[in-house]
Amino acid sequence: MAGPEETAGGRVTKFILLLWIFMKGTCTSFAGLASLPEVRQELVDNRHWMTDEQIDQSIVITRTTPGPVGGWVVAVGYMVDGWEGAIAGWIAMTAPALFVILLVGYFGKRAHHPRVRGMLQAVVLASATLLVLAAVPIGREALAGPLTVAITLVALPLLIVKRVNTLWIVTGAALLSFTGAMVGVAQLPPATSMAMVDSAG
């Protein structure tokens, strides 16, 4: 966190530098956690503004909260430079998304061409496969007992066949697991990091 002795000019410089480091990571990566090596190298190895343990914490935090995995840079920004750092992280997470408009503008006019349709079809198929691969490490960590396995097995048909809202599924699963731990059906998990994987963020 920034010390009170820092001048306004120093804080602005640090904000711009942090934003530059984050943008370098997010503009050159294509998934939520893929910018991690670049950002880690700058902040941990080169500048010593944070520790590896804090980087690990930021990954746990992004998995703990709903929404995109890319939110880990907001946590890192806050750890390094308080609110200003969090804002730098938010800008770096959000701004690259606007690149897509160039792509949609170009391919949108050609979307009915059979080759463009073939390309989109192939990318969606590969994305779906990548999603299953990304679910495996999460499952390995989260499905630690019969209760959590049962939650997954019941939730899957509810989602595919009954189209139940995911918010109800997640809330119900969290409540079931919590209640299971309270009444002793499920073992209390240790207070350690959950499985971390890189997936579409």
Partner 1 sequence: MSDSPQESEVVTPSLPEVAGVFTRFANLTWGGGSATIAVLKHQIVEKRRWLRESEFELNYALSRLTPGTNLLAFCAAAGWTRRRWVGAIVALLAASIPCSLMVLLVTVFYEQLQGSPWFQAALRGALAAAVAIMGSTAWVFAEPHLRAAPRKAILIVPMTVGLVLGLHVSPVRVLLLSAAIGLAWPVPKKPPEAA
Query: Within positions 175 to 194, which residues make up the interface with partner 1, using CB under 8 A?
Result: 175-178, 180-182, 186, 188-191, 194
Alpha helices by DSSP H, listed for 95-113, are 99-108
Q: Residue 87 and residue 105: Cα distance in Å, rounded? A: 29
Q: Does 58 bind partner 1 (CB under 8 A)?
A: yes
One of 16, 41, 117, 146 touching partner 1 (CB under 8 A): 117
Q: 164 vs 17, 26, 155, 167, 171, CA distance in Å?
A: 45, 33, 9, 9, 12
Map the footprint of partner 1 across residues 10-39, applying CB under 8 A: 26-32, 34
Map the footprint of partner 1 across residues 123-162, applying CB under 8 A: 123-135, 138-139, 141-144, 147-149, 151-153, 155-156, 159-160
Binding span for partner 1 by CB under 8 A among 1-9, 12-20, 44-52, 53-61: 53-61
- Residue with token string 């880990």: 72
Dihedrals φ, ψ of 53, to 5°?
Answer: -65, -40
Rg (CA), the chain: 21
Residue 102 CB, nearest distance to partner 1 (Å)?
Answer: 9
